[in-house]
Copies of this chain bind each other. A is one copy, B any other.
């Protein structure tokens, strides 16, 4: 279809690719992890201290083993998710230290908030994957918070979830728990059970935590998403093409590492770059430039025949107001419409990642469901065109009592679960609620309706036992 979003030509993408290759050959990328540098070196890639200099040939050879699409499996196999090509995963927000209450007040997030977010994700219609680090619970022991969150997600929701790439140890721990859940490490090698988010540290670096997580997760058979979050004019050039070249160099090198560790590792090419706000110097994720990056990233990933990742319902709004609605809808629409395959932050994010909101979560779910309806293709055939009915009903008639209307309406027409469609009198009679207030009511209903997945008591016991062993004496909320 004709679209006014920019279509990058093959020549333009080639040019970005060549710029990335020039960056890698002239300056390279720093890996703050000795084993990673070693892996590059052993594979014949030039290194100088912590810096690696992969060539175009080495990168393209490594990426040749990466699948174009893959399945991430769930403990409930009915909920396996395909990622790549036409298929995409929608996930909750990630990494927020705070919770925003209705009206906008922010407070530190707690493990009980994490549990609520798992319940909302488990009962979510549009979200087909569970997250990780949906908030950073302030009341968990930082040494084992990854175990609490991962176990809470694994036992509380039977959709596939995200791994714990917070450190080499956390990545390993999550693989160990998965081995218990799936009956051994071997069972994790056919299809991954998690996808983990391993961001570069722009410009041109990977932190020890992220780099070593890539290695551990690839070894454990888990999928790895490598993404850059570059702020134009701050951690990257002020020009969008410059940022595309820089993030491409970073992502390709991280993905190459995963392939060197285990050829065939399912990987995702990602970006969550956006604009720096010129007034505050802060990251702006409600910015229109975000959607440009999303669209370009989807196109770059297709060029390399890789699944793609971007953010979803992103915004800079401080509460679930009209700004949150507009910015998040634009970003999520662009992510889905551009063909992104792994859409993190689909639900809940406020204030430039600073907080999660349960009410925003409910809003974003409805928006996601609406967009999914928008992209459902229609069949154009004699039955759907329905010329006979149109001729029969004729000028000035109506279709309300047509048999077909009754028969087809629920399939054809999306029904809102949150958005108001009542008229003014009904709306005022029902209390003149704005969307944030209506969503707050739904949060309570959803949490009350939740029931935990029906896993065997044995599995729960084994997982808990393993988590306690991995915790090494540190206190677990889940214990």
Contact = CB atoms under 8 A, between A and B. Distances in A.
A326 B329 contact: yes
A278 B413 CA distance: 8
A420 interface: yes
A1 to B, nearest CB: 4
B2 A286 contact: no
Nearest to A295: B1
A7 B378 CA distance: 10
Contact of A3 (B282, B337, B373, B380): B337
A419 B27 contact: no
B204 A421 contact: no
Given A1-B295, A318-B427, A367-B330, A232 B421 contact: no
Contacts of A410: 278
Interface string A388-419: 01110111111110101100111011111011
Contacts of A4: 86, 336-339, 375
Contacts of A435: 317, 321-323
Interface of A: 1-8, 12, 15-16, 19, 22-23, 26-30, 51, 86, 98, 103-104, 106, 201, 203-205, 232-242, 244-246, 275-282, 284, 286-289, 291-292, 295, 298-299, 302, 316-330, 333-334, 336-339, 351-352, 354, 360, 363, 366-367, 370-371, 373-375, 377-381, 384-387, 389-391, 393-400, 402, 404-405, 408-410, 412-416, 418-424, 427-428, 432, 434-436, 439
5 contacts: A98-B424, A106-B424, A238-B413, A245-B387, A318-B420
